[in-house]
Structure 1
Amino acid sequence: MILFHLAFRVDDIASTRRFYGELLGCRQGREAPNWIDFDFFGHQISAHIGPRPESVLMTRVDDEDVPLVHFGAILGWEEWDALARRIAASDNRFVVEPHVRFVAKPGEQGTFFVADPSGNVLEFKAFRHPSAIFDGDDNGLERVA
């Protein structure tokens, strides 16, 4: 089994524990005064206290501005919808509201972006056809060699 590990910065441990543990439902792992680990949909993420960046860089995807620096998870459609509803019912606001992009194309996907209390942006996706996750030309976009 191969697992992914990601370390990223946060403002504090308490708000990070609430967001990832309580809101997203991630099981907490080890913790120290300046970092905390979570089981992020089967992968390890480590939140470390550190300074905030000065700005958020943006990029364009499907004629929409999205945060360039982000991480997230690809969920099943029902799991994605349930998480979107849980976040909508919470005090958190979406950075990009839940919607479907690349409609009627093999890469059709539900997506939304949400920020944690420290300003880190997460994207959650669900593919209508999971076999298209790594397909290159399925969105009608030009392939770059």
Structure 2
Amino acid sequence: MTDNDPQRLVADIWVTRLAWIQDRLREGRNIEPLLRHAFHLAQIAPLKFANLLGDLISEEAYEAALAHEDWDRAANLLLGEHVRIARLTPSSGVMAVIVRDERSSGSAIGGTYAQAALDAWIARIFDATGLNDTSFIYLD
């Protein structure tokens, strides 16, 4: 793949958007639009990332979880059934989540399970692709 290859550009934009979500999570932004954005990114994942995501659930099921403000369910639907999930609640009261499949793992801490799970989902993708350095510059 060359620097001018359209597939590379699509992959670079996709990864940049994941980093954008991750930054917003860590700023404590509203989880609903971040979960929605993550699902839409999963729907249009470049081929080199799509196999990491497993079988995507239906948009109707995901939208139903969001409509009911069931952020935990939406996060679990995004993670998929192929991922093992460990929840930890340290004495500080925050939520820690570790997600793992046969290829990679990711972990994160958040104020809620949904925040930590979404952050860990992104961390697992970055781990699987060797993109652990997410010092991106992006436009809001």
Pairwise same-fold verdict (TM > 0.5): no
Higher strand proportion (structure 1 or 2)? 1
The alignment's TM-score, normalised by the length of structure 2, stands at 0.29
